[in-house]
Amino acid sequence: MIERNKYLDKLINKKENGLVKVITGIRRSGKSFLLFNIYKDYLLSIGVEEDCIIELALDDDENIRYRNPLELGEYLRSQANDKNKTYYIFLDEIQKVVSIQNPYIKDVEDKIGFVDVLLGLMKHDNIDVYVTGSNSKMLSSDILTEFRGRGDEIKVNPLSFSEFYNAFSGDKRDAWQEYYTYGGLPLVMKKNGHEDKAKYLQTLFDKIYLSDIMERNKILHEKYVLDDILNIVSSSIGSLTNAGKIANTFKSKRQINIDNATVGRYLDLFTDAFMLYKAERYDIKGRKHIGSPLKYYFSDVGLRNARLQFRQMEENYIMENIIYNELIYREFSVDVGVVEYFYRGEDKKSKRSNLEIDFIANKGSQKYYIQSALSVSDEDKREQEVRSLNHVGDSFKKIVVVKDNIIPWHDDNGILYIGIEKFLLDENAINI
């Protein structure tokens, strides 16, 4: 069993806190296993009776009647019927519950949905509710308002490299090659050989992710547009882009006219489904977000590679994506840094230039500037990688992560150089 101790600890700490625990993340990232296996085993180990754990998978066709919120509420209350016991309710894929018209009110629209059911359950002191969901729209600002402050989100990502390595039978270098090729969706580790892994990932795209998005958003005839947008983003991870740039690509290379708003809406659908993350640019000296263009990263690099039939395996871009995902896993807020500096050109005139820092990672009082580089063994290459870091002008930690397995070291300006494996396996390594 793959350990997900970070998420287990969060669930334990939030146990019986009076809030609905909402576990979100891309489908097949391990949300259900975390709740229905790992956390359930923990509850049983501390003496919770099995009949006090009520489990319901709403994406199972055997439970389709409970996608009706009235049926769901009635069923759950009938199961948690002993006021002298504490019940733990696990609801998988809560977004499958539809909103319906209140049957007791006519002529006036009055919708009932899963929020009403959960709020009703939370009025019972002996009920502790946990739900999973694969679409961030279930936690839109409107729904969070309806929860009235009673929702507590836990975001589950595909396996981090450390989680992957702990379950991998091989050395670190083999683990790295496997991870940057096939990613960290847990079931990939159970597949044997390239063909088996590739088929699984490609099937997930067409049969699960894209089908879900099209069904949920009633997209009937534009799968080819979704496919093309994903292909474009897959080919340009680590590059600045926006909806307008992608729309221009459709026009120039595919002779298809599609407006910016439509492209932007489809990109939002991918981020809502946790397939993509977007990182905005941040002006370090101006202390403000710049907005468009921005960068997109895949929540799992195996999905990105499978999307491109494993044909564009540029390790530098994939490594950058993995570093971004690791920072998200560590619960940093991550932006792309832009630092402005002035210099004198050959004509002796003052010129201005913008330099990019791959990531600015913020969490509370912590801030790190991080560059991803395959290697800095060449001095010219090293100076190119750190030029932006040397123009930041503050004292927060500056780090260059390289592919090579090196002993961490600092240059004369205090910049830390560290190998990717050390960075991924030791969260404290960035504070050396």
Q: Does residue 133 register a pLDDT over 70?
A: yes
Both tokens of 49, joined, read 């009776």
Q: What local confidence, expressed as pLDDT, does residue 218 receive?
A: 86
Q: What local confidence, expressed as pLDDT, does residue 342 receive?
A: 77
Residues 6+ apart with CB under 8 A from 221: none
Number of helices followed by number of strands (H, E) in the chain: 17, 15
Q: Does residue 393 register a pLDDT over 90?
A: no
> For residues 69 and 91, what is the distance between their CA atoms, to the nearest angstrom?
12
Q: What angle do CA 271, 273, 275 make, to 5 degrees?
A: 65
The mean pLDDT of 228-239, rounded to a whole number, is 91
> For residues 250 and 258, what is the distance between their CA atoms, to the nearest angstrom?
7
Higher pLDDT, 384 or 146: 384
Q: What local confidence, expressed as pLDDT, does residue 254 receive?
A: 74
The mean pLDDT of 42-66, rounded to a whole number, is 96
- Whether the bond between 408 and the residue before it is cis, its omega within 30 degrees of 0, is no
Both tokens of 279, joined, read 């990182």
Q: Does residue 141 register a pLDDT over 70?
A: no
Q: What local confidence, expressed as pLDDT, does residue 354 receive?
A: 87
Q: Give 199's pLDDT tier (boundaries 50, 70, 90).
A: very high
Q: Are 356 and 388 in contact (CB under 8 A)?
A: yes
**DSSP conformation class of 238:** T
Q: What angle do CA 425, 427, 432 make, to 5 degrees?
A: 110
Closest CA to 242 of 268, 274, 223: 268
Q: Give 397's pLDDT tier (boundaries 50, 70, 90).
A: very high
Highest mean pLDDT among 193-197, 223-227, 376-380: 193-197
> For residues 205 and 227, what is the distance between their CA atoms, to the nearest angstrom?
10
Q: Give 17's pLDDT tier (boundaries 50, 70, 90).
A: very high
Q: What local confidence, expressed as pLDDT, does residue 285 receive?
A: 85
The position carrying tokens 């991550």 is 334
* pLDDT tens per residue across span 353-375: 889 999 999 999 999 999 999 99
Q: What angle do CA 67, 73, 79 make, to 5 degrees?
A: 110
Q: What local confidence, expressed as pLDDT, does residue 106 receive?
A: 87
Q: Are 331 and 160 in contact (CB under 8 A)?
A: no
* DSSP reduced 3-state for 391: helix
* pLDDT tens per residue across span 325-364: 999 999 999 999 999 887 777 777 777 888 999 999 999 9
Q: What domains can be seen in the chain, in order of their start residue? A: 5-155 (3.40.50.300), 157-432 (no CATH)
What torsion, rounded to 10 degrees, do the Cα atoms 168, 172, 174, 177 define? 100
Higher pLDDT, 27 or 419: 419
Q: By percentage, how much of the chain surpasses pLDDT 90?
A: 71
* pLDDT tens per residue across span 145-173: 666 677 788 999 999 999 999 999 989 99
